[in-house]
């Protein structure tokens, strides 16, 4: 595990999980748009999952993702690994990269560029390294 990953885990309050296997989101839970809220009252774990989705992904969870993550929490999985699984998702990475494009270049990334950079971050590039590449680019110096 990299030093950056250890730092983030410590920040999340789960230093004891260093070296532990991270949870993996089911493929559908991070790729579908948010579904309609159920009419029944949400459990504490469902409320937590909904808030984490909003904070990290900028949207509510789809019904399958909500059920999956809440059931893990209901079975005794601690909250920090659930949050970490969302932090290391391609959706989260794409949101951060897209935000940096907006901040430094004043535009959204094209689909191919976003896919490429998300892959680079997934393969070990840090957000800080990506940020440095944007700030060091010719486009940065000519953008308004």
The tokens of 15 are what? 């230093």
Tally Cβ neighbours within 10 Å of residue 54: 13
pLDDT score for 41: 76
Say if residues 143 and 135 touch (Cβ distance below 8 Å): no
pLDDT score for 13: 44
Residue spans per domain, the chain:
3-29+38-87, 90-142
The tokens of 26 are what? 């089911």
> Is the torsion defined by CA of 96, 97, 102, 108 positive or negative?
negative
pTM: 0.71
Query: Mean pLDDT of successive 10-residue segments in the chain (144 residues)?
Result: 43 40 52 51 92 96 95 96 95 97 95 97 97 95 76
pLDDT score for 100: 97
């Amino acid at each position: 595990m990299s030093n950056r990953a250890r730092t983030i885990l410590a920040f999340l309050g789960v230093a004891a999980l260093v070296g532990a296997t991270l949870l993996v989101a089911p493929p559908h839970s991070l790729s579908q748009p948010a579904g309609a809220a159920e009419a029944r009252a949400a459990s504490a774990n469902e409320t937590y999952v909904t808030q984490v989705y909003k904070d990290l992904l900028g949207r509510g969870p789809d019904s399958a993702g909500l059920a999956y993550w809440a059931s893990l929490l209901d079975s005794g999985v601690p909250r920090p690994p659930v949050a970490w699984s969302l932090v290391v998702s391609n959706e989260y990475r794409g949101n951060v990269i897209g935000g940096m494009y907006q901040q430094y270049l004043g535009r959204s990334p094209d689909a191919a560029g976003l896919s490429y950079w998300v892959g680079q971050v997934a393969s070990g590039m840090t957000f800080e390294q990506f940020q440095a590449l944007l700030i060091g680019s010719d486009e940065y110096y000519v953008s308004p």
